[in-house]
Amino acid sequence: MMSRILSSLRAASDPTRARILLLLADEDLTVAELQEILGMGQSRISASLGLLKREGLVRDRRVGKNRFYSALGRLSPSLLILLEEAVAETPDASRDRAALDLALARRKDRAAAYFDQLAGKFGRTYVPGRSWQALAHALLNLLPPMTIADLGAGEGTLSQLLARQAQTVIAVDNSPKMVEFGAALARENGFHNLEYRLGDIEAPPLAPSSVDLALFSQSLHHAAAPHRAIESAFRILKPGGRALILDLAAHSYEQARERFAHVWLGFSEIELRTLLSDAGFAAVETRAVARERSAPHFQTLLAIGTKP
C-alpha cells in the first residue's frame, strides 16, 4: 500500500503532470485540448499521460475520432488537495483555469464554426442587393438608443455609422488632425449626436459611469498599456454596460510595427479574456470572427465583457 502511494506521489510530482491531473480532475479532455491549454507539444503531453495512465491516475475512452482522458483511481482527495496547493504557488494556476474555460467554450461553440464557414462564402457569389453594407445598416436598426464611446476612433468612420442609430456617440482619438477631420465630416453630414474628443484611450476624457458601450475597434494594439485602456473602459461604463473589442489575433508579422505603428502584435483569446476579467468585467466571451485571405492572413478576434 505504501509503495503504491509513493509511486502515485512520484508520478504527480512533475509540474506538467500535476497541472494535467488538476485539469482532468475538472473535465475530460483530449490531447489536442491539453496542448491548447498548456501550450506544450503533443509528444510531451502524450508521454505524461502515458505515465499517469500506467500509474492508474488517469484513464482514456474513445468518442468517435477523439480520445478523452479523465482523472480517476488513486487520485484521492488528499492527493488532489496537495496538487492544488502546489500548483497554486505557480503563475500557471490562473492561466490554466482561464485556458480550460476557453477550450470548453470552443468545444461547445458549434455555431461559431458554422458561421465562420458562412462568412467565408458570403459575397463570393453575386446576388443582386446583397452586401455587407446593407447588412450592417439593417442590423444597426436593431440596436437600442445608447451612449457609445468609440475609443481610438481615428477619423471616426465607424462612429458615423453608429451615430445613425445611437443616442450619442463620443469618438476619442489622440491625433488632433484625426479629431479635426472627423468633427468636420460629422458637421458636414449633419451628425448632431456625434462628438469628437481629443484624448488617450488609456485615460479617455469621459465621466465615470457615463456610457453604455465602450468600443475598441482595431485600436487596442496601439495602446502602450492595454490593461489601463480596459480598466478605463470599465470606469466610464454604466453598470450593465459592455466593452466590445475587435482586434487582431496574436501574429508574428513584425513589419506591422513600422508599417502600421502597431505597439502589440495582436492578442490571444486568453490575453483578452484575462484583460477583461482582471479589470472587473463579467460574462466575458471571445471568438475569432474573421480571417484575411491574403498573407499574412490577419485574424480578427471579438471580445465582450459586461460591467456588473
| pLDDT-derived band at 111, boundaries 50, 70, 90 | very low
206: DSSP letter: -
Give residue-wise pLDDT tens across range 268-291: 999 999 999 999 999 999 999 888
Do both 236 and 169 map to the same domain? Answer: yes
For range 227-250, the mean pLDDT: 97
Do both 60 and 166 map to the same domain? Answer: no
What are the angstrom distances between the C-alpha of 32 and each of 42, 46, 61, 99? 7, 10, 15, 13
Query: Cβ atoms within 10 A of the Cβ of 37, count?
Result: 25
CB-CB contact of 159 with 224 (8 Å): no
| pLDDT-derived band at 11, boundaries 50, 70, 90 | confident
For range 236-251, the mean pLDDT: 96
For range 244-262, the mean pLDDT: 92
305: DSSP letter: E
Query: Cβ atoms within 10 A of the Cβ of 90, count?
Result: 13
Separation between Cα atoms, residue 45 and residue 31, nearest integer Å: 7
Do both 253 and 138 map to the same domain? Answer: yes
For range 10-15, the mean pLDDT: 79
Q: What is the predicted pLDDT for the residue at 79?
A: 73
Q: What is the predicted pLDDT for the residue at 2?
A: 44
What are the angstrom distances between the C-alpha of 275 and each of 113, 124, 205, 259? 25, 36, 21, 26
Do both 270 and 292 map to the same domain? Answer: yes
Do both 137 and 250 map to the same domain? Answer: yes
Q: Report the phi/psi class of residue 30: left, alpha or beta, with left for phi > 0 and alpha for psi in -120 to 50.
A: beta
Do both 141 and 251 map to the same domain? Answer: yes
Q: What is the predicted pLDDT for the residue at 1?
A: 45
Beta bridge partners of 196: 171
pTM of the model: 0.69
Final residue in a domain of this structure, among 72, 90, 108: 108
Residue 124, pLDDT > 70, answer no
What are the angstrom distances between the C-alpha of 191 and each of 33, 155, 168, 170, 198? 48, 14, 10, 11, 18
Give the CA angle between residues 289, 290, 296 to the nearest 5°: 140
Separation between Cα atoms, residue 172 and residue 152, nearest integer Å: 6
Do both 151 and 289 map to the same domain? Answer: yes
Q: What is the predicted pLDDT for the residue at 120?
A: 53
Separation between Cα atoms, residue 196 and residue 150, nearest integer Å: 9
Give residue-wise pLDDT tens across range 129-167: 766 677 777 777 778 889 999 999 988 888 998 998 899
Q: What is the predicted pLDDT for the residue at 126?
A: 61
Final residue in a domain of this structure, among 108, 123, 148: 108
Which secondary-structure segment (H or E) carries 47?
Answer: helix 42-54
Q: What is the predicted pLDDT for the residue at 91?
A: 74
For range 88-107, the mean pLDDT: 80
Final residue in a domain of this structure, among 47, 75, 108: 108
CATH number of the domain where residue 102 is located: 1.10.10.10
Higher per-residue confidence, 215 vs 110: 215
Give residue-wise pLDDT tens across range 164-211: 889 999 999 999 999 999 999 888 888 899 999 999 999 999 999 999
Q: What is the predicted pLDDT for the residue at 201?
A: 96
Higher per-residue confidence, 65 vs 232: 232
For range 206-234, the mean pLDDT: 96
Residue among 159, 179, 155 at smallest CA distance from 169 = 159
Residue type, 268: S
Quote the percentage of the chain above a pLDDT of 70: 89
| pLDDT-derived band at 125, boundaries 50, 70, 90 | low
* Residue with grid cell 476624457, as numbered in its chain: 205
Question: 22 lies in which domain range?
Answer: 2-108
Residue 231, pLDDT > 80, answer yes
Higher per-residue confidence, 301 vs 55: 301
* Residue-averaged pLDDT of the chain: 86
Residue among 160, 216, 149, 154 at smallest CA distance from 181 = 154
Helix, strand and coil in the chain, % to nearest 5: 45, 25, 30
Cell triple for 264: 502589440
The three-state secondary structure class of 157 is: helix
For range 40-44, the mean pLDDT: 91
Q: What is the DSSP code string of 247-266?
A: EEBP---THHHHHS--SS--
Do both 151 and 69 map to the same domain? Answer: no
